[in-house]
């Protein structure tokens, strides 16, 4: 007998809401004698906050599954999806293809009852690569940048592979903290200038730190203004943050981890603030907003954050600039309404 499998929803909620606010993930393999077939549809609740771990060998469909989840959220009724946003942190540069119909697998898509179609994906590319991508016809919609003001001294040290308590780490921390005290945004040139003018450090330390910030200038992702979080995380929007320009760059994963960490931390802070101001009376209403008797659009949507190659960003036994922010969401993301999807082919290397 075929029946629906709904992941992430209690029996009580299934009885109350049915499949409303869910997306289809696939079908369950059922073996009967010598025959193995696809039978029970498997759905996932996306109106609540969850942590999801997708594991499989190379080429098994992990990245495809992340795209399918994004498409499922995009296809939800307006009254539900207007209060949800999904952000794909694309470390390998593959999700731009969702802008186009999947004619390559058209027969398979139709066998599931769907038609190949383009998805309204908003692609953000690091500002230093945006013009190049546009000129070469590589799909991108908007430039993306982050403010140096938002990077903590420890995150700079991790990204530059400098010990926090070393002479260079102390110099970096002192300069960044002095700039932060002013309460106004600044660019990398200002950091470099103050490092070179510092009177409490030796010339070697100044040279090492200033050289690291000169290198960071070449990453093409820092600006004094930065990209507002509300632009990339909007209700009903599927956003791809393309970090693939760093795939072949020296310290590429350190750069990606820095960006992921900043985005994750900012999302958590935004949702914690929003959670305090939203007109919810119970946690159930907050996690299942669409069930309220009067449908309204939230100012700050509930967020799904999706990461591929997660073992590189949240490694077991070491720390990246993304580690603390991702662990915070893993442990505390449910209440503010942040869901996290981690995909990896090496689960043993994931932080536990």
Asked if residue 73 and residue 92 are part of one domain, the reply reads: yes
CA 4 to chain centre: 29
Asked if residue 310 and residue 184 are part of one domain, the reply reads: no
Residue 218 lies in a domain: no
Taking CA atoms, 189 is separated from 126, 174, 210, 247, in Å, by: 18, 16, 10, 25
Asked if residue 235 and residue 190 are part of one domain, the reply reads: no
Residue 282 lies in a domain: yes
Asked if residue 178 and residue 309 are part of one domain, the reply reads: no
Asked if residue 72 and residue 34 are part of one domain, the reply reads: no
CA 127 to chain centre: 18
Q: Residue 231 maps to which CATH number?
A: 3.40.50.300
Name the nearest CA neighbour of 25 among 63, 62, 72. Answer: 72
Asked if residue 62 and residue 97 are part of one domain, the reply reads: yes
Residue 151 lies in a domain: no
Backbone angles phi, psi at 150, to 5 degrees: -85, 0
pTM: 0.88
Q: What is the pLDDT along the chain (352 residues), one digit of tens a residue?
A: 678 899 999 999 999 999 999 999 988 887 777 777 778 899 999 998 999 999 999 888 899 999 999 999 999 999 999 999 999 999 999 999 999 999 998 998 898 888 999 999 999 999 999 999 999 999 999 999 999 999 999 999 999 999 999 999 999 999 999 999 999 999 999 999 999 999 999 999 999 999 999 999 999 999 999 999 999 999 999 999 999 999 888 889 999 999 999 999 999 999 888 887 764 444 555 555 555 444 467 778 999 999 999 999 999 989 999 999 999 999 999 889 999 999 999 999 998 7
Query: Residue 187 and residue 98: Cα distance in Å, rounded?
Result: 34
Structural domains of the chain, count: 3
Asked if residue 256 and residue 110 are part of one domain, the reply reads: yes
Asked if residue 75 and residue 30 are part of one domain, the reply reads: no
β-bridge pairing 302-307 and 121-126:
unpaired
Asked if residue 182 and residue 40 are part of one domain, the reply reads: no
Stretch (H or E) spanning 41: strand 35-45
Residue ranges making up the domain that contains 29: 1-45
Asked if residue 164 and residue 109 are part of one domain, the reply reads: no
């Amino acid at each position: 007998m075929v029946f629906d499998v709904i992941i992430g929803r209690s029996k009580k909620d299934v009885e109350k809401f049915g499949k409303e606010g869910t997306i289809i993930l696939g079908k369950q393999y059922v073996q009967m004698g010598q025959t193995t077939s696809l039978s029970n549809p498997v759905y996932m609740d996306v109106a609540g906050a969850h942590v999801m771990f997708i594991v499989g060998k190379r080429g098994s469909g992990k990245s495809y599954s992340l795209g399918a989840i994004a498409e499922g959220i995009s296809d939800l009724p307006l009254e539900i999806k207007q209060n949800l946003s999904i952000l794909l942190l694309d470390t390998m540069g593959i999700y731009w293809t969702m802008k186009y119909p999947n004619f390559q697998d058209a027969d398979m898509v139709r066998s599931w009852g769907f038609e190949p179609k383009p998805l309204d994906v908003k692609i953000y590319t690091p500002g230093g690569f945006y013009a190049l991508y546009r000129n070469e016809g590589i799909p991108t919609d908007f430039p993306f940048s982050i403010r140096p003001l938002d990077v903590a001294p420890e995150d700079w040290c991790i990204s530059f592979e400098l010990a926090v308590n070393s002479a260079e780490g102390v110099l970096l921390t002192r300069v960044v903290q002095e700039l932060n005290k002013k309460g106004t945004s600044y660019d990398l040139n200002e950091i470099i200038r103050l490092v070179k003018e510092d009177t409490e450090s030796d010339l070697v330390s100044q040279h090492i730190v200033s050289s690291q910030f000169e290198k960071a200038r070449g990453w093409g992702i820092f600006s004094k203004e930065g990209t507002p979080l509300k632009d990339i995380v909007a209700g009903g929007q599927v956003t791809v943050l393309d970090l693939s320009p760093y795939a072949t760059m020296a310290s590429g994963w350190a750069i990606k981890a820095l960006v992921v960490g900043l985005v994750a931390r900012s999302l958590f802070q935004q949702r914690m603030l929003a959670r305090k101001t939203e007109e919810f009376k119970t946690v159930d209403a907050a996690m299942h907003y669409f069930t309220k008797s009067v449908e309204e659009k939230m100012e700050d949507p509930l967020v799904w954050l999706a990461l591929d190659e997660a073992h590189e960003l949240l490694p077991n036994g070491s720390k990246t600039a993304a580690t603390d922010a991702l662990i915070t969401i893993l442990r505390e993301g449910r209440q503010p309404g942040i869901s996290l999807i981690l995909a990896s082919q090496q689960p043993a290397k994931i932080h536990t």
